[in-house]
Amino acid sequence: MNLNFSLCSSTSSELSDSILRRSPVGSRFFSRELVRFDETWKKKCFSNNIPRCGGGGTKKVLASSTHIAPGHLEDSSIAAAAKKTLPRRGLGFVRTLLIDNYDSYTFNIYQALSTINGVPPVVIRNDEWTWEEAYRYLYEDAAFDNIVISPGPGSPMSPADIGICLRLLLECRDIPILGVCLGHQALGYVHGAHVVHAPEPVHGRLSGIEHDGNILFSDIPSGRNSDFKVVRYHSLIIDKESLPKELVPIAWTIYDDTGSFSEKKFSTPVNTSLSPSRNGSVVSPYVDGKQDRHILMGIMHSTFPHYGLQFHPESIATTYGSQIFKNFKDVTVDYWSRYKSPSSRRRMINETANMQVPSACQLLKELSRTRSTGNGSSYYSNPSSSLSAVKKNGVDVIGLVDLAYPKPHTQLLRLKWKKLERLVNKVGGAKNIFMELYGSNRGNDAFWLDTSSSDKDRGRFSFMGGKGGSLWKQLTFSLSDQSEITSKHAGHLLIEDAHGSTKKRFLEEGFLDFLRKELSSISYDEKDFKGLPFDFCGGYVGCIGYDIKVECGMPINRHKSKAPDACFFFADNVVAIDHQLDDVYVLSLHEEDTEETSFLNDTEEKLITMSVSSARKWKDQNLPAIESSQRKASFVPDKSREQYIKDVERCMQYIKDGESYELCLTTQNRWRIGNTDPLGLYLHLRERNPAPYAAFLNFSNADLSLCCSSPERFLQLDRNGMLEAKPIKGTIARGSTPEEDELLKFELKLSEKNQAENLMIVDLLRNDLGRVCEPGSVHVPNLMDVETYTTVHTMVSTIRGLKKTDISPVECVRAAFPGGSMTGAPKLRSVEILDSLENCSRGLYSGSIGYFSYNGTFDLNIVIRTVVIHEDEATIGAGGAIVALSNPGDEFEEMILKTRAPASAVMEFCSGFQ
């Protein structure tokens, strides 16, 4: 069967030359020439020029070799033996080489294998090692016992998508290998099977699995009526009719056997009895009068210890996923324990585990040293470079280790604070406090991290502050134009101090690197904030724009933001409000050798002496709603409905062709509002659309204000080292009556499309946290909860994990930024596609607002439902996740829904002054 489809509907000419030229990652999709495997490349890659591990240079010799099945010299087929339950043995450490195909779920596999194997895998991207390097570590140094090939975007037919994986599958016939999704397809393809479009793309949906009792499924039930349900993320499949005799099917499903996470039962199964064909593939010509609908979900090689799974065992919603990885460990241990060849002296896992583990750990340290010396991005490292060459700022579990963290402290800051009990309601609430302290100047150079939601369980504390302390300063950072940079994340930083003096710096390494160094240069005494019920005690407060993604391993920015890419205050004086207990805290930071400021006493006096009349002063600040007929202008979207729907359709084509599982397409809505009052606008917005991660920020020297009513947390790190993300995926409008409202809430909860969106992002965030968290610590305490806000219901999940001690707070942000709910998965490929579809920079939209406390904690939101005011223009970004189940027209309406609350607030407020 010939493969006659393209990997997407767009040609390479539709992307900018800069994207296509910059790297294998950028240039590998959308070219028809990459659809079929390049036979010339294949012959060259698999030539006999390189020492081979089993001898023989042709596929025929590889397939017929019998000496490469240890323990089965009398029988060249492993298939029969593999169906039997292998003897249980005392398991030692198993060292895995995990090949990352630029996927966003690889580190979920990493987390699982770290706890199951007893030692973390070594993670290598598919273009990071040459074959010579791989051969050295696999055979000369014997650093690994097995190989796992990750999922990934694209197709095994594209060399840039699959990298070294095909060669590993052919050459390493005597090393156990497990391929997941793309790795599974690669196992089929490299032995001659055809990879074709699935009957329909299936992403973030569950299916029942039937298997043949293979050892890989030991202790796992089989059948559609069993509780063995797996999550699928794929658009391509192996054509079962094209399976060569070397490959044996071991698991399958039926193509329409898909359901949502909330479904407790699947449909009544049709007859699934199967009979093997001549080559061992599944043959069932008709099911209930229809053509065979079985889809391969698992294969194994008949003589190599190689396995493939089309589904994702690492997903949070897959049952028995950990058992599958444990079974693969058992396969590996049993394989090497029965190996009779003298060359296996380093493979006796049970007997020599203590000798073997250090070799893998030494490799880990070697990789860490070589990668940490650079400052670029190893996403674009030269595939032919040697391991000793400099690796550039790899955003992975090794590259994120901050070898210099913590750094020698140069500045000791001391904290003084006072608690004013039961004061908030006495003075009329948080709004009155902010207006009393910072409202006289219309909120210039002030911040308010405002938990304005009436539900105190969602957000207990608010923080506010302004210019005044001796340590105060403002940072304004803008990425350089592409024409003037030497690295893609260099930029210009303007620093203004408390005295109004300014200085400029050029940051070659980018803003996040600067922020990391700033924070790590501060030392503190924990006893200073002992007794405080919150983590923010002063430090950097501000916003990070979406384009800072280039400092986080993402591609170059195709568009330049008009607004700054990051703005922060260093806040030395802070007022904190406990909404639950009604208390106010006043905090002040100062250097150890300097005298305390008067901020504590002055602020306490202002708050206590606020009279009832002054408390009422701001009560009626908000304007009444203005009828639509009275409005003189409105926001104009950058894209028409027709164009947005067309872009949604293009996203769905990319998804169909395997380039992405989910794409968060966005656009900007604009309005020239002239000289307005940002603080007054924010007060109006918080009244109309309160939210737990709301914020008001005003940076006067950047002519920038943000009025944010975000319901979504991006990432938080508390003083106990616990990281938390709370992604939102799935939104529906509130009903006009209580009955309709409950019905809509129930509709959202059971929506298969929205559950698929949410599940994909939960798995992505588990991956991002898994890069920086202790093995086994990443967990999901709340999955797909529906939360209700003033104008919408949303589906929210919570992911947590314990941060590794050698990872700095800023590097945790780097590992996960931008938030996966604003990109899609796999993140890197999805961002590339989105950059090609969106016609302007997202700016601060899709970025984060929050704080980095001087004591090493942080809390950041996702910038959504936000009005960004810069140089007299108000912009509101909005979008939605596009998945295989999307309806283009509905996606446009969802985008409009998300702009409604902030846009209405702006139009109401501004119309009142016209």
State the pLDDT at residue 531.
Answer: 93
Active site residue 314: yes
Reading the block at residue 775, the tokens are 């093995």
* pLDDT above 80 (res 458): no
Burial of 549 (0-12, 13-18, 19+ CB in 10 A): buried
Distance, in Å, from the CA atom of 864 to the CA atom of 652, rounded to the nearest integer, reads 23
Strand 491-497 with 502-507, pairing: antiparallel
Region of residue 428 (left: phi > 0; alpha: psi -120 to 50; beta: else): left
Our answer to whether residue 241 is catalytic in this structure is: no
Q: Are strands 96-100 and 122-125 parallel, antiparallel or unpaired?
A: parallel
Residues 788/373, Cβ–Cβ less than 8 Å: no
Q: How confident is the model at residue 530 (pLDDT cuts 50, 70, 90)?
A: very high
Active site residue 181: yes
**Up-side HSE of residue 164: CA atoms within 13 Å toward CB?**
23
User: How much is the pLDDT for 622?
Assistant: 45
AA identity, residue 24: P
Q: What is the pLDDT of residues 755-806, one digit of tens each?
A: 999 999 999 999 999 999 999 999 999 999 998 888 889 999 999 999 999 9
Separation between Cα atoms, residue 862 and residue 727, nearest integer Å: 9
Radius of gyration of the chain (CA): 29
Confidence of residue 856 (pLDDT cuts 50, 70, 90): very high
Q: Cα(632)–Cα(61) distance, rounded to whole angstroms?
A: 78
Active-site annotation holder among 128, 171, 314, 752: 314
Phi-psi region of 890 (alpha: psi -120 to 50; beta: other; left: phi over 0): alpha
Q: How many CB atoms lie within 10 A of CB 392?
A: 18
- What average pLDDT does range 541-555 have in this prediction? 95
* Helix (H) or strand (E) segment spanning residue 495: strand 491-497
What is the length of the chain?
A: 914
- Of residues 191, 294, 301, 312, which has the active-site annotation? 312
Residue ranges per structural domain of the chain: 96-261+293-338, 412-608+635-721+803-911
pLDDT at 674: 81
What letters, b where the CB count within 10 A reaches 16 and e where it falls short, cover 746-780? eebbebbbbbbbbbbbbbbbbbbbbbbbbbebbeb
Q: Which CATH class, in words, describes the domain spanning 412-608+635-721+803-911? A: alpha beta
Contact 125, 102 (CB under 8 A): yes
CA separation for the pair 65, 810 (Å, rounded): 52
Q: Into which CATH architecture does domain 96-261+293-338 fall?
A: 3-Layer(aba) Sandwich (3.40)
- Strand pairing category for 294-301 and 96-100: unpaired
Burial 661-683 (b: 16+ CB within 10 A, else e): bbbbbbbbbebebeebebbbbbb
Residues 6+ apart with CB under 8 A from 95: 117, 119, 121, 122, 143, 144, 145, 146, 356, 357, 359, 360
Q: How far apart are CA 513 and CA 392, in angstroms?
A: 14
User: 160 and 272 in contact (C-beta within 8 Å)?
Assistant: no
* pLDDT band at residue 909 under the 50/70/90 scheme: confident
* pLDDT-wise least confident of 26-30, 255-259, 348-352, 365-369: 26-30
Q: pLDDT at residue 272 above 80? A: no
Q: How many CA atoms lie within 13 A of 397 on its CB side?
A: 27
Question: Using one digit for the tens of pLDDT, what is the confidence trace for 345-404?
Answer: 444 443 443 334 455 556 655 554 444 433 322 222 222 322 222 233 333 444 555 554
Q: For the ranges 4-13, 165-174, 469-478, 696-705, which has the lowest average pLDDT?
A: 4-13
Phi, psi angles (nearest 5°) of residue 651: -60, -45
First and final CA of the chain: distance in angstroms? 68
From 181, 552, 651, 708, the catalytic residue? 181
Residue 234 β-bridge partners: 202
Q: What is the DSSP string of 227-270?
A: S-EEEEEEEEEE-GGG--TTEEEEEEEETT--B-TT-S-PPPP-
Instruction: State the average pLDDT for the chain.
Output: 80
Query: Can you tell me the distance from the alpha carbon of 775 to that of 323, in angstroms, rounded to the nearest whole number?
Result: 17
Q: What's residue 594's pLDDT?
A: 76
The residues, ordered by sequence, that sit 6+ positions from 44 with a Cβ below 8 Å of its Cβ are none
pTM: 0.83
- List, for residues 881-899, the tens digit of each pLDDT value: 999 989 999 999 999 988 9
Of all residues in the chain, the percent with pLDDT exceeding 70 is: 74
* CA atoms of 720 and 716, how far apart (whole Å): 11
- DSSP 3-state of 389: coil
Pair 470, 597: CB distance under 8 Å: yes
CB of 237 closer than 8 Å to CB of 295: yes
The pLDDT score that the predictor gives to residue 105 is: 96
**Given the structure tokens 């967990």, which residue do they identify?**
779
Average pLDDT over residues 841-847: 97
pLDDT at 912: 63
For residue 206, what are the β-bridge partners?
A: 231, 259
Task: Supply the pLDDT for residue 610.
Answer: 85
Torsion of CA 513, 515, 516, 520, to 10 degrees: 140
pLDDT, tens digit, for every residue of 567-581?
Answer: 999 999 999 999 999
Mean pLDDT over 656-685 rounds to 93
- pLDDT score for 400: 56
pLDDT of residue 254: 86
Per-residue pLDDT at 634: 80
Q: How many CB atoms lie within 10 A of CB 457?
A: 8
**Helix, strand, or coil (residue 298):** strand
Supply the pLDDT for residue 46: 35
Contacts of 835 (CB under 8 A, 6+ apart): 19, 555, 557, 558, 559
